[in-house]
Chains A and B, each alone.
Chain A
Amino acid sequence: MNDGPVDPQRQRQVVSALRAALPEHCVLHRGEDTRPYECDGLTLYRQLPMAVVMPESESQVALVLKLCHAMQVPVVPRGAGTGLSGGALPHASGVLLSMAKFNRIVAIDRRARTATVQPGVRNLAISEAAAPHGLYYAPDPSSQIACTIGGNVAENSGGVHCLKYGLTVHNVMRVRALTVEGEAIEFGGCALDSPGLDLLAVVVGSEGMLAVTTEVTVKLVPMPQLARCIMASFAEVTHACHAVAALIAAGIIPAGLEMLDQAASRLVEPFAHAGYDLDAAAVLLCESDGTPEEVSDEIEHMSAVLRAAHATRLQVSSTESERLRFWAGRKNAFPAAGRASPAYYCMDGTIPRRHLAQMLLAIQAMEIKYNLQCPNVFHAGDGNLHPLILFDDSDADSVARAEQFGTEILEKTVQLGGTISGEHGVGVEKLNQMCSQFDRNTLDAFVGVKRAFDPSGLLNPGKVVPSLHRCAEYGRMRVHGGAVPFPELSRF
């Protein structure tokens, strides 16, 4: 994906203005220096920014924003760059604003059970800092060792524990940010609600398009006394899917409920040695946490439901190291895919749980149609699928088939009453499918929200909301079955 070359004259103007405002080491503009920022975790799309700035204080970020606003330069905020939808894809005539240096834990308030941190603090680092107080930060995306809380706020990230403990939006209490004009603003607060409209609910998941986060206060929750995990095998994928619905219908909210199909188990087992049943068509990981008494009762209840749902084998973790081993495969699915295939494309639709079996069968048919493998490892309890399309990125035909495969999965997701993104965001990747999921009036309302926060339209332009023109093009392409999934990026 290419949005065009950087204009050298404009670049000189902007870089010299940035250099006048920031220390020299905080501004990068030579191609060899900005190259590492040309993409995020979605490497299918690449674009060099005009400049990269790495400010070290909120006042420096404000200066950058004021300057860019005055010069009408687009600004793309970036955390660790682990995002999977191209939300941090640079803009050819824009500045990439790296928040990597904002890596300080400001305060842990043990009494109020909150942590206040800078946006560049890694997700896992918050839980590590809170651990001495018996507390942790619940949302745990698979990338938690690397991804930052600022990026989590931008994407409303989930994780394996969000079925019981909620998404980022449920666990962030306060976001301090700068508006596009460089003015400080606070969304939410340290109480459980705030006066006026709940703007925090919109800022979380806004993919860096509404404001630039400079500080975040998150809720911490007590570490459970005990957690145990059941690993259940199924002879049919449909049995495993029905077992998911049966657990929820039985009034159980597992602390985690994840599924791996056989292709996924076989992919990760050599890598993670988790002990998965490689003969099973699907494996469910079902976790219970709480007091020892509670966990013991719940494991018994879960086991009974799973057996009634035709589980062929149940293993219950008896030690903490065994529980972590069960999860090791799930958490390492992406690196395992990276080892097994030259490239992989991770999808992220959410559908009503009752359609899980239908969706997995449809994906199996698509594997044949596109002649590509697609293991599934996903948040079954939430209905959030992560099909991993394995392809060869050195083969243009393989890339094109992977993209079409992905498009068809997302379209199927919308048909089943679901959403094109459960936790990875729209970014640039799913702009076309936004046209399928929402009508034009609703898309225009998103444009209105964007304008209310960012009247100049300079914050991360061209992401999330497709233009009218783009939707018209996509509509034509679907009608004619065309094969060009990525027309030029739109801007508004």
Chain B
Amino acid sequence: MLAAVAALSEQIRAAVVDRKSLRVRAGGSKDFYGNTPQGAVLDPRVISGIVSYEPSELAMAAYCGTPLAEVEAVLAAQGQMLAFEPPHFGDGATIGGCIASGLAGPRRASAGYTHGGVRDFILGAKLLDGRAQLLSFGGMVMKNVAGYDVARLLAGSLGVLGVIIEAAFKVVPRPGAETTLQFVLNEGAALDQLNAWGGQPLPISASAWQAGTLHVRLSGSASAINAAVTRLGGDLIEPAAATRFWYQLREHSEPFFGGDAPLWRLSLPPGAVPVELGEEQLIEWGGALRWIRSRCPTAQIRARAHALGGHATLFRGGERTHPVFTPLAPALNAIHRRLRAQFDPHSIFDCGRLYPEMHDASHAR
């Protein structure tokens, strides 16, 4: 593994000398995500494999190029899983890409110990920075407040701070049982119901509303699920169909995600009222995630998301004439630029995929 790290370091040093930029790309399963990247490809899959895994520690460390499917299979063999149910979006997904994209699936907004996104389960990371230095943040333990929590900062960083070489993350036991219920409700009623349930001790692990139908998944002990089924009512979905439903939702292979209308991802407070942009919609995360197929102007969608207390990302398709991510307030932008300059003083790693303006090093010192 040292030789592989040395080879990647050499590629970074050469880029510094040649004043070239690099973009980190493994399997390319999430190529569609973000603005158009630039630079020569640095492929971290030369570093692959699980570094350590002790089921009783609820923690795993893996090299960045380890296939996400391998991580999940090894965990499943011990009755454990990644709590955030990450989408793969293709066969080539790696754990490094999963962390760098920071995308979580249906279980993101679950109740109990599975609640949280990618960043919530990161325990530590080794990062190859823009000087080709190998830095080591965090560790393998559950509670760690020694130094700034840079490892969590890497979740969703899209490679702008360096190459994630290795990551340590918390894993959780698989639930003993799962059941999916279906309800017929309009959008407003579904949002009201989801938010009301969110305030009650119920084992809800996922939700999805679309076109007048709400699916709710319950996870936990059989006794907790039985009690919840009695309390919530609704129609039971047959287990195989339910598994397929949540899988297709996670992987965006649901028909809603097909076609070529621009796909917007609105991340909002769960209690936000209906978005009302007059287009097709799918709601997840108890109301906190609203997928919209919309040809409305970017400014209109961003303004609506902002008014509702959240932000909008052009997730797939559409005209890429505007940045896909919501622009940052000036004070945040200044910190982003300075942070990037600290980790990558020679501007080697492409940041155009996240915020092209981070390239401008005029504020960076």
Enumerate chain A interface residues (CB-CB to B < 8 A).
109-114, 133-135, 155-156, 158, 162-167, 169-170, 179, 183-187, 189-199, 201-202, 204-206, 210, 221-225, 245-246, 248-249, 251-253, 290-294, 296-298, 350-354, 379, 382-384, 417-426, 430, 434, 437-439, 441-443, 445-446, 448-453, 455, 464-465
**Chain B residue at minimum C-beta to C-beta distance from A193:** B267
- Which of B79, B142, B309, B311 contacts A383 (CB under 8 A)? B142
Q: Mark B188-208, 1 if CB is under 8 A from A, else 0.
A: 000000010011111100000
- Considering the chains assembled together, what is the distance between the CA atoms of A449 and B152 in angstroms? 13
B214-228: contact bitstring with A at CB < 8 Å (1 yes, 0 no)? 000000111110111
Given A191-B310, A223-B201, A298-B221, verify A442-B156 contact (CB < 8 Å): no
Contact in complex: A191, B226 (CB < 8 Å):
no
- Give 6 CB contacts A-B under 8 Å: A163-B113, A206-B148, A223-B201, A379-B143, A426-B147, A437-B146
Other A-B pairs beyond A164-B112, A193-B267, A383-B142, 6, CB < 8 Å: A170-B115, A192-B108, A197-B160, A225-B201, A251-B176, A253-B113
Choose among A245, A296, A425, A439 the residue that contacts B145 (Cβ–Cβ < 8 A). Answer: A425
Q: Give Cα distance in the complex from A65 to B6, angstroms.
A: 45
The answer to whether B142 touches A465 (Cβ under 8 A) is: no
> Does B250 count as interface, using CB distance less than 8 angstroms?
no
Q: Is the CB of A446 within 8 A of B339?
A: no
Q: Which B residues lie within 8 Å of A445 (CB)?
A: 129, 135, 137, 150, 342-343
A170 & B269 in contact (Cβ 8 Å cutoff): no
Instruction: Out of B111, B140, B332, name the residue touching A417 (CB < 8 Å).
Output: B140
What is the CB-to-nearest-CB distance from B86 to chain A, in angstroms, rounded to a whole number? 14
A185-B331 in contact (CB<8A): yes
CB nearest neighbor in B for A192: B288
- A420 in contact with B269 (CB, 8 Å): no
Give the distance in Å from the alpha carbon of A424 to the alpha carbon of B102 in the complex. 28
What residues on A are CB-neighbors of B79 within 8 Å?
Answer: 251
- Known contacts A156-B149, A202-B150, A202-B153; A419 and B144 CB within 8 A of each other: yes
Q: Which of A113, A205, A441, A450 contacts B133 (CB 8 A)?
A: A441
Instruction: Name the CB-closest residue of B to A420.
Output: B146
Chain A residues closer than 8 Å to B199, beta-carbon distance: 110-111, 113, 133-135, 222
- Per-residue contact bits, chain B 313-339, to A (CB 8 Å; 1 contact, 0 not): 100000000000111110110011011
Contact A158 B143 (CB under 8 A): yes
User: Which of A191, A422, A451 has the most chain B CB atoms inside 10 A of its CB?
Assistant: A191
The answer to whether B227 touches A291 (Cβ under 8 A) is yes
Q: Which 8 A-B pairs have the closest CB atoms?
A: A448-B342, A201-B152, A293-B223, A251-B173, A422-B143, A112-B271, A452-B338, A191-B310
- Say whether B97 faces chain A, with CB atoms less than 8 Å apart: no
With beta carbons under 8 angstroms apart, the residue of A166, A199, A451 that contacts B153 is A199
Q: A112 contacts which chain B residues (CB < 8 A)? A: 195, 269-271
- Residue of A with least CB distance to B112: A164
- Give the distance in Å from the alpha carbon of A383 to the alpha carbon of B148 in the complex: 20
* Chain B contacts with A in 19-70, Cβ cutoff 8 A: 54-59
Q: At the interface, yes or no: B182 with Cβ under 8 Å from chain A? A: no
- B157 interfacial contact with A, CB 8 Å: yes
Q: Which residues of A contact B115 (CB under 8 A)?
A: 166, 170
User: Which among A189, A222, A455 is the interface contact of B365 at CB below 8 angstroms?
Assistant: A455
A162 (CB) vs chain B CBs: closest residue: B143
B323 to chain A, nearest CB (A): 10
Cα distance, A476 to B119, chains bound together (Å):
38
Interface flags for B138-171 (1: CB within 8 Å of A; 0: not) read 0111111111111011011100110000000000
- Tell me, in angstroms, the Cα distance from A189 to B222 when the chains sit together: 35
Contact B172 A205 (CB under 8 A): no
* Partner of B152 from A202, A249, A451 at Cβ < 8 Å: A202
**CB atoms of A196 and B309 under 8 A apart:** no
Is B136 an interface residue when CB atoms closer than 8 A count as contact?
Answer: yes
Give the chain B neighbours of A223 by CB distance below 8 A: 201
Rounded to whole angstroms, the CA-CA distance of A167 and B145 in the bound complex is 10
Q: Is the CB of A354 within 8 A of B54?
A: yes
Q: What's the least CB distance linking A172 to chain B, in Å?
A: 11
Q: Is B134's beta carbon under 8 Å from chain A?
A: yes
Check A294/B153 contact, CB under 8 A, given A164-B112, A222-B201, A384-B143: no
Q: How far is the CB of B47 from chain A (nearest CB, A)?
A: 19
Q: How far is the CA of A240 from the CA of B95 in the complex (A)?
A: 35
Q: Which residues of the other chain, A, contact B267 by a CB distance below 8 angstroms?
A: 191-194
Of all chain A residues, which has the CB nearest B139? A419
Whole-angstrom distance between the alpha carbons of A134 and B142 in the complex? 28
A421 to B139 Cα, complex, angstroms: 12
Residues of A within 8 Å of B327, CB to CB, are 195
Q: Say yes or no: A418-B354 contact (C-beta < 8 A), given A170-B116, A185-B329, A224-B201.
A: no
Which B residues are CB-close (under 8 A) to A195?
Answer: 311, 313, 325-328
| Selected contact of B144 from candidates A197, A422, A449, CB within 8 Å | A422
Are A222 and B200 touching (Cβ within 8 A)? yes
Judge whether B178 is part of the interface by a CB distance below 8 angstroms. no
Decide if A354 touches B56 in the complex (CB within 8 Å): yes
**Does B355 touch A at the CB level, under 8 Å?**
yes
Interface contact A170-B365, CB-CB below 8 Å: no
Rounded to whole angstroms, the CA-CA distance of A170 and B117 in the bound complex is: 9
Evaluate contact between B195 and A423: CB separation under 8 angstroms.
Answer: no
Does B109 interact with chain A (Cβ within 8 Å)?
yes
A167 to B120 CA separation, bound complex (whole angstroms): 10
Most buried by A among B102, B129, B134, B140: B140
The answer, yes or no, to whether B289 is at the interface (CB within 8 Å) is yes
Kindly state the separation between the CA atoms of A488 and B161 in the bound complex, as whole angstroms. Answer: 34
Query: Quick check: A353 and B56 within 8 Å, CB to CB?
Result: yes
Q: Are A423 and B310 in contact (CB under 8 A)?
A: no
**A441 touching B311 by the CB < 8 A rule?**
no
Inside 8 A of B148's CB, which chain A residues have their CB? 202, 205-206, 210, 446, 449-450, 464
Q: Give Cα distance in the complex from A425 to B145, angstroms.
A: 6
> In the bound complex, how far is the Cα of B157 from the Cα of A351, in angstroms?
28
The docked-state distance in angstroms from the alpha carbon of A151 to that of B225 is: 38
A297 engages B108 (CB within 8 Å): no
Establish whether residues A192 and B117, one from each chain, have CB atoms under 8 Å apart when the complex forms: yes
In contact, B117 and A193 (Cβ under 8 angstroms): yes
Q: Which chain B residues lie closer than 8 Å to A221 at the CB level? A: 111
Contact of B173 with A253 in the complex, beta carbons under 8 Å = yes
CB <8 Å contact, B343 and A293 = no
The answer to whether B139 touches A417 (Cβ under 8 A) is: yes
Contacts A199-B332, A253-B172, A353-B56 given; does A192 touch B285 at CB 8 Å: yes
Closest to A298 in B: B221
- Complex Cα distance, B195 from A187, in Å, reads 24
Q: Roughly how many angstroms separate A433 CA and B342 CA in the complex, as a whole number? A: 24
Residue of B nearest to A383 (CB): B141
- Within 8 Å CB of A426, what residues of B? 145-147
B139 engages A418 (CB within 8 Å): yes
Shortest CB-to-CB span from B103 to chain A, Å, is 10
Is A382 a contact of B142 with CB atoms below 8 Å?
Answer: yes
B288 lies within 8 A of A191 (CB) = yes
| CB contact between A249 and one of B56, B161, B285 (< 8 Å): that residue | B56
> Cβ of A169 and Cβ of B172 under 8 Å apart?
no
Cβ contacts under 8 Å, B120 to chain A: 166, 169-170
